[in-house]
Chain A
Amino acid sequence: MSSYATDVLEPRPAATNGKAVPGIHPLLDVPVIAPGHTFESITEKISNVVLRPGTPRWWFGTLLIASAFAMGLLFALTVLVFKGIGIWGNNQPVGWAWDITNFVWWIGIGHAGTLISAILLLLKQEWRTSISRFSETMTIFAVMCAGIFPVFHTGRPWLAYWLFPLPNTMGVWPQFKSPLVWDVFAVSTYFTLSVVFWYIGLVPDLATMRDRAKSTFVKRFYGLLSMGWRGSTRHWSRYETACLLLAGLCTPLVVSVHSVVSMDFAIGIIPGWHTTIFPPYFVAGAVYSGFAMVLTLAIPARKLFGLEDFITMKHIDNMGKVMLATGLIVGYAYTFEPFFGLVYSGNRYEKFLILNRMFGPYAPFYWTLVLCNVVTPQFLWWRKIRSNIPLLFVLAIVVNIGMWLERFVIIAISLHRDFLPSSWGYFKPTIYDVMTFVGTLGLFLTLMLLFMRAMPIIPMFELKTSLPQAIPAGHPEVGTFEEEVAS
């Protein structure tokens, strides 16, 4: 039983709700939710994005463009199925090129979603709430886009089920010693659990949507999805346990997924791939690009849907800080890779690889990568830049480009000149490479737009718990703002 003095009926002091406190650092003043919100205003504001009749015109326009690109993807993949992967620029020696570059890039983008929703939940970071649903959705769609590349790279996507351990008449089983089978397990587990985590998080909000919907069809739709959720205390109790456990399971999962992806390379003997630094370096890079993508999407979305009250400058600032931190880790890896290659390994092929990266035929890509990924985050040291939204948007896009280049540099440059000059080659993308990649961007954007129109993009019930009204009077957690900052 609780020992709270529940008969004290005073509301929680509002001092935490974003009011300026003299002597406190100005950035700490920025609230997680804009002041003045109630439970009802949160419900109304977020559910109205979906339930309000009339779709904004910009939404149709963007959807049209995005789905046109997605159709390009469909076309490119159809041609591929008929003609084979010869339509791509892949060749000997560059057998893995844009396809795997895009795969790793998309998987990495998904990571911020899991990081925000799982790791920050475990660390009790309240600011994650407003962007968690958004980024979890991003994870799911990014992993879907990622999955397209390895499946079609097999050349015979209709036989992709051979990668799964299914009993079959041939008696053939996957090779469990192969990193590619690890990939299948890691990515499909990651996708499945991301969907479970995302859907479980949606259930109470779907119930809210059901209760607010006016038309019978919409009511039935959300009613079916919310499975009869009624906010019972017993349900909440199990629900909270399950969310914490899922977060606890997703945290090692997200680290393992990109580590496994990096082991595809690290298990190979090609210079530039055979590197033990890869797993942590890939994970940091993934989080880096993921946060860049969250910013790229959240900045326009908050403006267009009028959600500035919930995705505040605090969120933008914090995401900028995470980008800075992960950008520095990535920068560290860029510094040490040449050191390992040139000085420490004593391996002449490694030495050649580093020099080839810096001064070989792909040198412009390498230096652009350094510019994008190492120089860009340095701007984020300044609070003025982190609070400048247009500039931050540009920086996020630059980081996305940089992370794509990083994957390309690792894959194509390492492959195109290996041990024997007689087996050297060069990779040039074809129009189908471009169409497939740009097409996945279109597919991703299409799915995000459809999601934003159909589902609450901010977890309402979780956001309500961040309101001062949610904490009952006399609760031991109630402290003044000064006390919280001092502790």
Chain B
Amino acid sequence: MKQVKSYPVYGVMAEYDSTTEIIAATRKAFDAGYRVMDAFTPFPIEAVSEMIGFQRHHNKVPFATLIGGLLGGIGGFSLACLASAVWYPLNIAGRPFITWPMYIPVTFESTILIAGLSCGIGMLAMNGLPQPYHPVFNVPSFSLATNNRFFLCIEARDPNYDESAVTDFLRTTGAREVVRVDG
């Protein structure tokens, strides 16, 4: 689990009503020089992550999946070979112990199994989940972030962070409400 470094104040959060507004606000914040920020939306919005500097599918989940798949494939095939040739060899009419075409189904299934598990668990781990506590939950209206509101939070870790300046800036982006997030 990833630890959030504790600051007395986590950041300043603005609340918006529509996708168009949150995208425009994120862009303005980026243009104003803020870099350490995060948006919270009820559903994925590609444009927002691009504004924050996250390119679509440019993350380590595919890599984790690939490694998992390779390990699963090698593991499954070796398991079949070792079990049939070393650990419990059965000589049936002199047929070879390692009949690799017969091991393809097991190899295939274990490839998919380990790849899928590393994809799912890897995604959660990279996201730092499960994480029962997070400062953004202190914002009273934040429960709407999973419903119909869009939030942008400029964090205190940002080098350009200055609470009153950030608050003023976010007010100019057409936010419905701007609040401080306690850490």
Point out residues on A near B: beta carbons under 8 Å: 1-2, 4, 6-9, 11, 38-40, 43, 165, 171-177, 179, 181-182, 185-186, 188-189, 192-193, 196-197, 199-200, 203-204, 207-208, 210-212, 223, 227-242, 244-246, 249-250, 252-253, 256, 260, 263, 461-462, 464-465, 469-475
CB contact under 8 A between A189 and B109, given known A233-B38, A233-B41, A236-B49: yes
Chain A, Cβ-Cβ closest to B89: A173
CB contact under 8 A between A252 and B27, given known A232-B38, A245-B62: no
For the complex, is B39 an interface residue (Cβ under 8 Å from A)? yes
CA distance A98 to B76 in the complex (A): 32
B127 touches A235 (CB 8 A): yes
CA distance A256 to B48 in the complex (A): 38
**Contacting residue for A472 out of B19, B54, B103, B106, CB 8 A:** B19
Chain A, Cβ-Cβ closest to B27: A6
**Contacting residue for B115 out of A7, A181, A249, CB 8 A:** A249
A465 touches B44 (CB 8 A): yes
B41 touches A256 (CB 8 A): no
CA distance A125 to B156 in the complex (A): 41
Chain A, Cβ-Cβ closest to B121: A196
Task: List 8 A-B pairs, minimum CB-CB distance, nearest first.
Answer: A227-B130, A39-B148, A242-B123, A173-B83, A211-B143, A236-B44, A176-B80, A182-B105
- Supply 28 A–B pairs (Cβ within 8 Å), ascending by A: A6-B27, A43-B147, A171-B88, A175-B90, A189-B110, A196-B116, A197-B120, A203-B129, A204-B42, A227-B124, A228-B133, A230-B145, A230-B146, A231-B41, A234-B54, A239-B44, A239-B123, A241-B59, A242-B119, A242-B123, A246-B119, A249-B65, A252-B108, A260-B105, A461-B44, A472-B23, A473-B20, A474-B20
A193 touches B112 (CB 8 A): yes
A182 touches B106 (CB 8 A): yes
**Contacting residue for B116 out of A7, A193, A228, A260, CB 8 A:** A193
Chain A, Cβ-Cβ closest to B101: A177
Interface centre among A171, A188, A189, A244 (most CB of B within 10 A): A189
**Distance between B157 CB and nearest chain A CB, rounded to angstroms:** 14
B142-153 contact mask (Cβ, 8 Å, vs A): 1 or 0: 111111100000
List 17 additional A-B contacts (Cβ < 8 Å) besides A4-B23, A176-B102, A230-B136: A4-B47, A176-B106, A189-B109, A192-B113, A200-B120, A204-B43, A204-B146, A229-B129, A229-B146, A230-B137, A230-B142, A234-B38, A234-B54, A241-B123, A256-B105, A256-B112, A472-B20
For the complex, is B40 an interface residue (Cβ under 8 Å from A)? yes
B127 touches A472 (CB 8 A): no
Chain A, Cβ-Cβ closest to B77: A176
A186 touches B109 (CB 8 A): yes
By secondary structure, the B interface counts as helix
A237 touches B59 (CB 8 A): yes
B20 touches A240 (CB 8 A): no
- Chain A hits for B47, CB < 8 A: 2, 4, 6, 472, 475
Chain A, Cβ-Cβ closest to B99: A177
- Chain B hits for A244, CB < 8 A: 57
B90 touches A193 (CB 8 A): no
CA distance A40 to B38 in the complex (A): 22
**Contacting residue for A462 out of B43, B137, B148, CB 8 A:** B43
**Distance between B35 CB and nearest chain A CB, rounded to angstroms:** 13
CA distance A231 to B44 in the complex (A): 8
**Distance between B174 CB and nearest chain A CB, rounded to angstroms:** 9
B19-57 contact mask (Cβ, 8 Å, vs A): 1 or 0: 111011001000000000011111111011111101011
Interface centre among A181, A185, A223 (most CB of B within 10 A): A185
A233 touches B148 (CB 8 A): no
CA distance A253 to B105 in the complex (A): 11
A464 touches B43 (CB 8 A): yes
For the complex, is B126 an interface residue (Cβ under 8 Å from A)? yes
For the complex, is B5 an interface residue (Cβ under 8 Å from A)? no
B117 touches A196 (CB 8 A): yes
**Distance between A102 CB and nearest chain B CB, rounded to angstroms:** 22
Interface centre among A2, A11, A238 (most CB of B within 10 A): A238
- Chain A hits for B127, CB < 8 A: 232, 234-235, 238-239
